[in-house]
Structure formats: C-alpha cells, structure tokens
Amino acid sequence: MIFDIIAAGEGSRLAKEGVREPKPLVKIRGEALIDRLMRIFMQNGATGINVICNDISTDVSRHLVDIQNDGLNGMPIPLSFYIKTTPSSMHSFYELSKHMPTEPFILTTVDTIFKEEELTEYVTAFKKYIEQGYDGVMGVTDYIDDEKPLYVGTDGNMDVNGFFDEPKDAKYISGGIYGLTPGDIGTLERCIERGESRMRNFQRALKKKKKHLKAWEFSKVLDIDHKADIAKAEEFLA
C-alpha cells in the first residue's frame, strides 16, 4: 500500500500565534506530526511513503533525510520526498502524482489527526471497495470544527453524491483523507490545466466525471491550523 503526505503548507497561522516549528514537526503527545503519520502508515502495511514539503524551511527536509538514512526510531521507512513550494494542496498532490506507481494509494495532509485504530479500519475498507470497483474512498466525519468545511453528500449506502460548500442535507464533512486509484490522476491533471486549485475542486471534478466514490466515517478528524488545535488534538488522543 502506498501512502502520500502533503506537507508543503507554510503553517503561517501557527507561526503568527507563536509556534516556532514548521507544521510537520509540531509535536502532539511528544511525536512530530509527520513522524506520527509515517509510524501509523507503516503499521498498516506501507510499502512506500511519498512526501512533498516546501523549500521555505530546511528543517523538514533535513528531518526527512535523517529518516531516510537512520529510519524512524530505528525502523526503516520506504520514504521518498520532494521539495517544492506550491500554491495549494491540489498542486502539491499534482507534484506527488508525477512519482506515483500504478496502484491505489491513500493521500492525506500532514496535520490530519485521527484515531489510529480507525485508520486501520479505513485501510481495510479502502482495499475492499476498490476491489468492488469503486474509484475512491473518502474519509469523512460528522465532527465539524473546520473554518470552511467541505460537506460531503451521501446516500443510504454511504455512496458519495456530491461535495458542497454549504451543508444542504449533508451529514458529513471531508476529513482530508483520500483513498484513490491511478485512474483518478487524469481528473487531477485536467483540474490543473483549467487553472483550478484546492482539493475540494478536485473532488467535485471526480463526481462530474461520474466517478464511483464511497464515504467512510471517522468518529472525529482534527486539523492543526491554530495553536489551540494542538491542545485539542492531545486531549482527543489521550
């Protein structure tokens, strides 16, 4: 299983609030965000982990070089990383897509916080639904603590029927965890060609292309956008 991590954001809101570390190296319960993701992904059968980080802070790239050389707490990591500052998360995904093998993969941003056991259940579900012919499995949650959430419409079978900026009748929002297939990359490329940005526009484009998407519910997903979110995440994972 291939896992991809978008870690190219600037973390400007955290910096303004006095957090000195670049976002990927912010620690939750003593563990850097990017290290936590890599550890969990390895526990879930990662055969490759691809990361994109920006060229603004060298701390992250140095940290990743150390992991390539010495492993994560002594555990070898099948890590590849790419350094490029991009204008949006969708552009970061596009840069990562240039290096992806032709197999299904799971993509997330570096500050996505979830329960470890739920990620394991999600990976199992992702494999099952891809075998059934789905084009993607989107991690969703009914916990809403996002400034501008993307609402995910679903039917009674948890099949996705739309992505919305307003709630409409949607119970869930996007958790920023995307299980996708190589066939979805063409849609991403068309989005870039049209000058679009943001992952929500990519998701909408998947539905316009009649892609068959499943939603899978996490009890709660948190993002680390503000200093106060660090304490929220530590309480959630306690």
Q: Answer whether 102's CB lies under 8 Å from 182's CB.
A: yes
Query: Given pLDDT bands bounded at 50, 70 and 90, which one contains residue 145?
Result: confident
Domain boundaries, the chain: 2-237
Q: Answer whether 150's CB lies under 8 Å from 87's CB.
A: no
User: What per-residue confidence (pLDDT) applies to 121?
Assistant: 98
Q: What is the pLDDT of residues 5-59, one digit of tens each?
A: 999 987 788 989 999 999 999 999 999 999 999 999 999 999 999 999 999 889 9
Query: Given pLDDT bands bounded at 50, 70 and 90, which one contains residue 155?
Result: very high
Class of domain 2-237: alpha beta
Is residue 168 pLDDT above 90, yes or no?
A: no
Q: Answer whether 52's CB lies under 8 Å from 8's CB.
A: yes
CA distance 33 to 26: 6
Question: Residue 203, CB half-sphere, CA atoms under 13 Å: how many?
Answer: 30
